[in-house]
Structure 1
Amino acid sequence: MLILILLPVAFLLPPGAEAGEIIGGQEAQPHSRPYMAYLKIQRGNETFRCGGFLVAENFVLTAAHCEGDEITVTLGAHRLSEQERSQQKIPVKRQIRHPRYNRETTNNDIMLLQLHHKARLTKKVGLIDLTSAHRRVSPGTMCSVAGWGMTSLTNTTNTLQEVNLSVISDKTCYNRYHYYYRSSMMCAGDPDDQKSVYYGDSGGPLVCCGVAEGIVCKCMENSIEPPVVYTRISHFMPWITDTMRGI
């Protein structure tokens, strides 16, 4: 099964969008997001990519659908095609999906990756703060998301891209995704402003006021334009905390 965020429809690209842009966004300032993790996922004979983010020296948070037979995490990266001295490549020791993850509905699409060894924290490899339990971000709040996902149906990018997105009300998202939308989810992306994530951005963080509030999850197949569904991290803070403490 392909790791995807949106159906590959050409009209997602705004007029004038160029290769190298997350949909409607731009290249991130190099190493301005030291918590970002690139996941190389081996599943059978196929290789996939996802995003993630460093939440402890030995843990990366990502989406449950980014699971694989083997996963290698790259930290400190900006341009994947270059052997940057800042990069740290660490194999994943253990993949810990949420026990109630549902592949069909994408509910509880969250996973902790325990690294084989601790990351070395530097100016270009660092942690991001997580939200607090049960916190809900107000609609209209401007947040951002970044990733190395595809920029169109045929183009991939090896340079970290970012885009600003506004949080959408639960009511609006429920009206659109009522068969799937749960209180453990949140939405971001103005439907009148064609900016969004795309293939390969799964697992990356939705960051609001410097805090990770959401995770790019696997959206429903009818999700062809913003807003896009994210896993609401605050809903899972007790599980995240207990899981990391218990290992």
Structure 2
Amino acid sequence: MLLWFLLPLILLSRHEAGKIIGGKEARPHSYPYMAYLLIQSPERLSSCGGFLVREDFVMTAAHCWGSSINVTLGAHNIQRRERTQQRITVLRAIRHPDYDPQNIVNDIMLLQLKRRIRQNHVVRPVALPQAGESLKPGTLCTVAGWGRVSLNRRTDVLQEVQLRVQRSQKCSNRFSFYTSQTQICVGNPRERKSAFRGDSGGPLVCNNVAQGIVSYGDTNGIPPAVFTRIESFLPWVKTILRRFKPQRSE
């Protein structure tokens, strides 16, 4: 099965972005932790989502790595220079040491920003889960992003969709390398609602806590999709955040 993880959102003459499948336009700045990542790699220019977890750190998927990454916070329309936007270069991209691009496991990365953001009502971090916190099937969560609505439709404004956590079996039946220990199965197969290409790295937020990271799914955008389970990586995340002291603000 071909996965949209393997089909990154490539940016051509303009910064292409699209929307989540089956979602709607988000109320501007209602997700103050959302980050838009513009990624330069030797082969292409592409984009991902991400989310602010500390005043100088953004969390995203490891497969969103590039030789240089620019982060935009406080954005609604990523094609405009909105007054609320804060654009910051990434100082250090730290992929999980056990990230495996072949089997798409441990798909988590922390981005240290060159400076601390100016925290305000449109730019602020999201909470991370507590150790041992379980996410039960049926939980209603929200995903936001600037990813595609289909292979040939896009928009520039932030989209949102509500998705339910599924039993792990629904993903293990479809994806040969799904593992419930470090991944979450999200999205009802009976509903045409899902994250899609370009949404990678964005957060799955349940009860105001970021529980997952958009990782991969079916190339046609048919749910469920697979999210990295943040709770499984808390020791690594805390180690990295302790190691690197907050950068100076402007």
Q: Give the TM-score of the pair, scaled to structure 2.
A: 0.88
Deviation of the 1:178 alpha carbon: 3.9
User: How many residues of Structure 1 are paired with residues of Structure 2 in the alignment?
Assistant: 234
2:195·2:221 contact (CA, 8 Å) conserved in 1? no
Q: Which moves more between the two structures, 166-175 or 76-85?
A: 166-175
2:184·2:212 contact (CA, 8 Å) conserved in 1? yes
Deviation of the 1:222 alpha carbon: 6.5
Give the whole-Å Cα distance in 2 for the aligned partners of 1:192 and 1:154.
Answer: 23
Deviation of the 1:174 alpha carbon: 2.1
What is the aligned counterpart of 1:41 among 39, 42, 66?
39
1:216·1:230 contact (CA, 8 Å) conserved in 2? yes
Deviation of the 1:187 alpha carbon: 0.9
1:185·1:231 contact (CA, 8 Å) conserved in 2? yes
Give the whole-Å Cα distance in 1 for the aligned partners of 2:96 and 2:64.
Answer: 12
Aligned to 1:183: 181
Aligned to 1:111: 109
Aligned to 1:140: 138
| Aligned residue type for 2:237 | I
Give the whole-Å Cα distance in 1 for the aligned partners of 2:80 and 2:33.
Answer: 19
| Aligned residue type for 1:246 | R
Deviation of the 1:66 alpha carbon: 0.2
| 3-state SS in 1 of match to 2:232 | helix
Aligned to 2:162: 164
| Aligned residue type for 2:232 | H
| 3-state SS in 1 of match to 2:138 | coil
* Runs ≥4 residues deviating over 6 A: none
What is the aligned counterpart of 2:20 among 13, 19, 22?
22
% of aligned pairs identical?
A: 51
| 3-state SS in 1 of match to 2:98 | coil
What is the aligned counterpart of 1:84 among 82, 85, 91?
82
| 3-state SS in 2 of match to 1:127 | coil
Q: Give the TM-score of the pair, scaled to structure 1.
A: 0.89
List gaps (5 residues or longer) in structure 1: 9-18
* Pair 237,33 (structure 1): closer, same or farther in 2 beyond 3 Å: same
Deviation of the 1:45 alpha carbon: 4.8
Deviations 1:21-65 (A, max 9, x none): 521110000000000000000011511000000000000000000
Aligned-residue CA RMSD (Å): 2.0
Q: Which moves more between the two structures, 165-174 or 231-240?
A: 165-174
Deviation of the 1:170 alpha carbon: 1.7
